[in-house]
Amino acid sequence: PAQPQKIALPAVVAGRFHPRGDRDWLAFEAKAGEEWVFDLHSRRLGLPTDPSLLVESVTQSPDGKAVTKEIAFADDGPAEFQGGVFDRPSFDPTITFKPPADGTYRLLVRELAADSRAGIDRAWVLEARRPVPGFRLVVPLAQPDRVDPKKIARSVP
């Protein structure tokens, strides 16, 4: 974290969860109120990973030391696809981030099991972009579960 790779937004950055214990830190400048989306792709690439994202603000204390504060954390994708009727998480995290103040921020890209497993085949791609208006259409092809109506019964073809 003391020497993060500096990036300018918007950006697309690629990396690997390698070697074991790897943590990839990125630093960027952002202005208050400007909305950004950080969308990590790894599991969607067919890789056996469990990535997470962390955004921190970085300021200076009066004695010149860096002071960090956690702003946002994401693991396992958008909340609307976790639990509930779908009972199936998306394993790639996405953070929609609106900086509270102008300044320097850090982003941590981490594989949650990186301390026990790693490999050059465990890659990631991070897209840092402005939000784009749109929607996602989800059409369940099964009936509600008879035991628990909050879940979808899986149909067998």
> Which has the closest alpha carbon to 110: 56, 40, 30?
40
Measured distance CA(155)–CA(142) in Å, rounded: 6
Report pLDDT digits (tens) over 33-62.
999 999 999 988 989 888 999 999 999 999
Strand order in the sheet with 36-41: 11-16, 123-129, 36-41, 94-97
- Burial letters 104-122, b for 16+ CB under 10 A, else e: bbbbbbbbeebeeebeeeb
Tell me the pTM.
0.77
- Do 51 and 43 touch, CB atoms closer than 8 A? yes
pLDDT at 120 over 90: no
